[in-house]
């Protein structure tokens, strides 16, 4: 039981550090990506105003019609393209840091662009 409490305390401390880092950089908008086994979701969030600016997912009707599987790398690319188009149409411009390393499906889609 003691080990469980220690692990739980470490998890809470880690979550606190991450949330504080996000709050400190609240002038920038953040891209939040969630991947389940079946679908992929992406949102661009403005923490300063606590508003979701644009969102896209593989569950959207226009994206889902062209996909055979909504949880794979192809779907991630389509969701990435959709959220980029929506962000540009929202008259906001975003830049990704060049020094950041993207891994997995996010990395393959970033390197294609």
CA atoms of 105 and 10, how far apart (whole Å): 29
User: What are the structural domains, with CATH classification, of the chain?
Assistant: 26-92 (3.30.420.100)
Task: Please report the sign of the dihedral spanned by the C-alpha atoms of residue 7, residue 13, residue 14, residue 19.
Answer: positive
pTM reported for the whole predicted model: 0.63
Q: Which of 8-12, 57-61, 89-93 has the lowest mean pLDDT?
A: 89-93
3-class state of residue 87 by DSSP: helix
String of DSSP letters for 3-70: HHHHHHHHHHHHHHHHHHHHHHTTTS-EEEEEE-SS-EEEEEEETTTTEEEEEEETTSHHHHTT-S-T
Residue 68 or residue 95, greater confidence: 68
Q: Which of 3-17, 18-32, 40-54, 83-97 has the lowest mean pLDDT?
A: 83-97
Residues 24-72: tens digit of each pLDDT:
776 778 888 999 999 999 998 887 788 898 999 999 998 888 888 888 8
Confidence tier at 104 by pLDDT (50, 70, 90): low
CA atoms of 6 and 75, how far apart (whole Å): 39
Contacts of 23 by beta carbon, 8 Å cutoff, 6+ apart: 47
CA separation, residue 107 to residues 5, 8, 73, 76 (Å): 36, 31, 10, 11
């Amino acid at each position: 039981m003691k080990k469980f409490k220690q692990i739980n305390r470490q998890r809470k401390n880690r979550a606190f550090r991450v949330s504080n880092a996000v709050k400190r950089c609240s002038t920038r908008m953040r891209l939040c990506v969630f991947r389940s086994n079946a679908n992929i979701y992406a949102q661009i969030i403005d923490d300063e105003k606590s508003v979701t600016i644009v969102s896209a997912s593989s569950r959207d009707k226009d994206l889902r019609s062209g996909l055979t599987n909504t949880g794979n790398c192809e779907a991630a690319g389509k969701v990435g393209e959709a959220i980029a188009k929506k962000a540009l149409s929202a008259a906001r411009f975003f830049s990704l840091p060049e020094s950041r390393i993207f891994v997995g499906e996010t990395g393959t889609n970033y390197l294609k662009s």
